Amino acid sequence: MIFRQLFDHDTWTYTYLLADEKSKEAVLIDPVLEKTDRDLQLLEELGLTLKYALDTHVHADHITANGQLRERTGCQTAVSAKNEVDCIDLHLKDGDSLTFGALKLDVLETPGHTGGCLSFVCEDKVFTGDALMIRACGRTDFQQGDAATLYHSITQKLFQLGDDKQVYPGHDYKGMSSSTIAEEKEHNPRIRLGREGFIDFMEHLDLANPKKIHEAVPANMDCGFKSSQVV
């Protein structure tokens, strides 16, 4: 498998490129609008054809490149069916899978950060979006977020994937690039609080809203097109 972890410094967002080496079919997970040209250049350099552009959820901190990527490559776009994004091609739900070449991406519903969060599993890797981060997790105080639901998603779904599974989150703010399920079970301080401690901790984070929330959420409900057509 061809695999690249890409980063947007302005929003601390990871974008992931996965591709089948033989067929050259590729997937982008959580692409950022301002990085569209970077991602398209990489696809061209590696001789890849983009089959799917996926979002783990409707982001509040950046605008998706899904719509731009579909216009410029003809790929299919996808997000959770629970988000009710009308412009998307594929409305994904738990148990769905997407194939690209000989590879398969399995869909897990992992809500809690928002009501429509997905994680994607491919071979030894899980792409957790904002559900599970490295020694942290996504906030739960907007977009139908719920701390109890997130705790269940992490402990009863993601933690059941196996200790050796590599964890690739949607963001990192401390310079970490990946983890494993075993590491997060052992060292994630929020999960180590237990269910009630986790819920109490999450309900008292008292964080400011993301700077782009009023721009990003409406734009992402329109596949990234409402705020700007400029890449």
pLDDT in tens, the chain (231 residues): 999 999 999 999 999 999 999 999 999 999 999 999 999 999 999 999 999 999 999 999 999 999 999 999 999 999 999 999 999 999 999 999 999 999 999 999 999 999 999 999 999 999 999 999 999 999 999 889 999 999 999 999 999 999 999 999 999 999 999 999 999 999 999 999 999 999 999 999 988 988 889 999 999 999 998 644 433
Q: Which two tokens stand for residue 91?
A: 């409305």
Angle between helix axes 147-156 and 194-203 (nearest 10 degrees) is 140
- The reported pTM is 0.95
38 found inside a domain: yes
11 found inside a domain: yes
15 found inside a domain: yes
Q: What is the CATH number of the domain that holds 95?
A: 3.60.15.10
Ranges of H-type helices in the chain: 36-45, 66-73, 147-156, 181-187, 194-203, 213-220
Q: Which range of residues forms the domain containing residue 42?
A: 2-208
125 found inside a domain: yes
